A and B are shown apart, each in its own frame.
Chain A
């Protein structure tokens, strides 16, 4: 098994839109993750999710990967976009729609 950082790099590069979160899209386990899912669903974009609660290595590793201390974290085409606060601001300004439109 490869190290967590390579596994994370593989995931973010293999998926155009991927959200690292607590729980699943259907059953988010944290209010912030729930908010991130609500935004993505609202935009109707296709996305993958990774439940960090199922994998302690990814849970710790994702914080180091992006130098970002919290989950959820959104990645679009391999680039870290931000957490749920930034997602909300970008959603309200229309930037997130634009970014996701280019990913499809």
Chain B
């Protein structure tokens, strides 16, 4: 009965929120991998001003985390 009630209380918006949070979590992991790969590559080949690309990788990761937190709190 409780289970049925629980299932009944799940709305379409709950499902969308759940899917968004899962997607954004996976993307955050991907962004972290990307950041680590950039660090590994700039170690393999060091270039002038290559901090710029490391900075872009970090911005991508921070952006992904921010959107994930936003999704958890405002939805």
> Is chain B a partner of chain A in the same complex?
no
The chain A residues found within 8 Å of chain B, CB to CB, are: none
